[in-house]
Amino acid sequence: MQIKVLLNESEMPRQWYNLAVDLPTPLAPPLGPDGKPITPDMLSAVFPMNLIEQEVSQERWIDIPEQILEILYRWRPSPLHRATFLEKALGTPARIYFKNESVSPAGSHKPNTAVAQAWYNKQAGIQRITTETGAGQWGSALAFACSLIGLECKVYMVRISFDQKPFRKMMMETWGATCIPSPSEQTEFGRSILRQFPNTPGSLGIAISEAVEDAVSDTSGKTRYSLGSVLNHVMLHQTIIGLEAKKQLEKIGERNVDVVIGCVGGGSNFAGLAFPFVCDKINGKDIDIIPVEPTSCPTLTRAPFGYDHGDTAGLTPLLAMHSLGHKFIPPPIHAGGLRYHGMAPLVSQALEDGLLNPRSYPQLDCYEAALTFARSEGIIVAPETSHAVAAAIQEARQATEEGKEKVILFNLSGHGLMDLYGYHKYLNNELSNHWLADEEIQRAAKDLKDFPKPHQTV
């Protein structure tokens, strides 16, 4: 029995897959402050034009430049594992596979797009990139990529995480990036927030606003902003995960995957694994595709679909997405990467088109699943990833009940070696579950009501 499937360099996918072309309903475009679709030019102070072209591309397949492949190949293709020890622990007839994105030097899937974004910026003559980070996975990945490609990198890290997770900052600094707590004194917006709320813990929304302001206010024109999830080109870069997985499954004769699972915050690791399978589903294959989110931030399972801002301050264009409202602050669960009010427009539209079957779990169920996984398969997963593990285990248990030989595939988006405090608190019964009150959902629906409706605007 094969428990690990590798691919060599020559088998590595050489194109990214663009789901936007195949979605039954075309994506509703981002809208500017005037309520009209924004043009690529309007984004050019924020992103380099080569990435804006990818953001709006109508090509199904986009070539991956050789120099990006050369870097990705240092840890990719990531292994596809068969979780035989977990199967045994569960006594399930299901075959459970996982794609192991934790093998990247930054420990997660994030470098897949960080490397691509840094490279395209460098090609466009950009010398410096700004970004925000919450728990720190994205900031670390971009610091790593900028180090290899030769770009300055400035990371605005949400203050509460900056204080609680000092190792993430050290990681970024080791790769030569600058990391400061947000809100900061270094931007207009940061200063205004600090004047009003000197003791604010900060938020992802504030940090985004600061990073964007930093980029667009550099008069030399040599600075751009970079985002680690949500946008179309980020989803695109991550599809290498699912494209590899398909080759790997084919290699061992697994022709039919029944269930594909990924955790979702902004959507990028889920999209990366799932979109090539969503394509198969659009073409008639019977696959259950499950994005998994925390019950404390149930964007896909409970939030309305509409236009909303990507950041708290409302500085970004309006995106057509499932959203809990751009002012929503999710409860402080340990899976910081899943604490985002919105959802990638591509993932949101795929749900609208009936292609996804989202699910939510409370925190304790996820840690319980992660512990079962760590003690059977030996890998300590990130708190975000634990949501995917919980769903995979539930699917496997159902297969046992039904006596079915189901094939389950999930994305192991990152390891949890920088997030052990959450495990510690779980083992000491110091964690609790969070469910969002119905009033929060009603409030979100009300907040989104004032914006245009997707697909009625163009």
Nearer to a second copy, 44 or 127 (CB): 127
DSSP classification of residue 36: S
Please state the closest distance from residue 167 (CB atom) to a second copy, in A: 5
Q: Using CB under 8 A, which of the segments 13-21, 42-50, 343-351, 410-418 binds a second copy?
A: 410-418
Verify binding: residue 4, a second copy, rule CB under 8 A: yes
Q: Using CB under 8 A, which of the segments 3-11, 59-67, 187-195, 230-238 binds a second copy?
A: 3-11
Verify binding: residue 25, a second copy, rule CB under 8 A: no
Verify binding: residue 85, a second copy, rule CB under 8 A: yes
Verify binding: residue 160, a second copy, rule CB under 8 A: no
Pick out residues in 56-75 that bind a second copy (CB under 8 A): 70-71, 73-74
Pick out residues in 161-180 that bind a second copy (CB under 8 A): 166-167, 170-171, 173-176
Please state the closest distance from residue 14 (CB atom) to a second copy, in A: 16
- Across 64-205, the runs of DSSP E, i.e. the strands, are 80-82, 95-100, 128-133, 152-158, 178-182
Q: Using CB under 8 A, which of the segments 210-218, 240-248, 329-337, 377-385 binds a second copy?
A: 377-385
Q: Are 345 and 448 in contact (CB under 8 A)?
A: no
Q: Are 412 and 385 in contact (CB under 8 A)?
A: yes
Residue bearing tokens 């512990």: 371
DSSP classification of residue 144: H
Verify binding: residue 17, a second copy, rule CB under 8 A: no
Q: Within its chain, how far is the Cα of 410 from the centroid? A: 14
- Count of CA atoms in the C-beta half-sphere (13 A) of 237: 27
Verify binding: residue 49, a second copy, rule CB under 8 A: no
In 3-state terms, what secondary structure has residue 427? Answer: helix
Nearer to a second copy, 39 or 174 (CB): 174
Report d(CA 112, CA 291) in Å as an integer.
20
Residues 6+ apart with CB under 8 A from 298: 324, 360, 436
Dig out the tokens for 36 from the structure.
């009209």
Verify binding: residue 378, a second copy, rule CB under 8 A: yes
Applying CB under 8 A, the site for a second copy has a residue count of 42
Q: Are 293 and 285 in contact (CB under 8 A)?
A: no
Q: Among 382, 118, 147, which residue's Cα sits nearest to residue 269?
A: 382
Verify binding: residue 6, a second copy, rule CB under 8 A: yes
Nearer to a second copy, 285 or 375 (CB): 375
- The neighbour count for residue 253, using CB atoms within 10 Å, is 7
Verify binding: residue 417, a second copy, rule CB under 8 A: yes
Nearer to a second copy, 173 or 402 (CB): 173
Nearer to a second copy, 169 or 246 (CB): 169
Please state the closest distance from residue 377 (CB atom) to a second copy, in A: 8
Verify binding: residue 91, a second copy, rule CB under 8 A: no
Verify binding: residue 427, a second copy, rule CB under 8 A: yes
Q: Using CB under 8 A, which of the segments 129-137, 152-160, 311-319, 375-383 binds a second copy?
A: 375-383
Bridge partners of 290, per DSSP, are 261
The sign of the CA dihedral 317, 39, 230, 146 is: negative
Pick out residues in 209-248 that bind a second copy (CB under 8 A): none
- The neighbour count for residue 435, using CB atoms within 10 Å, is 14
Q: Are 391 and 261 in contact (CB under 8 A)?
A: yes
Verify binding: residue 81, a second copy, rule CB under 8 A: yes
Please state the closest distance from residue 60 (CB atom) to a second copy, in A: 29
- Count of CA atoms in the C-beta half-sphere (13 A) of 36: 4
Verify binding: residue 377, a second copy, rule CB under 8 A: yes
The DSSP line for 348-373 is HHHHHTT----EEE-HHHHHHHHHHH
- The neighbour count for residue 74, using CB atoms within 10 Å, is 11
Nearer to a second copy, 319 or 369 (CB): 369
Q: Which residues bind a second copy (CB under 8 A)?
A: 2-4, 6, 8-9, 70-71, 73-74, 81, 85, 103, 105, 107, 144, 147-148, 166-167, 170-171, 173-176, 371, 374-380, 415, 417-418, 420-421, 423-424, 427
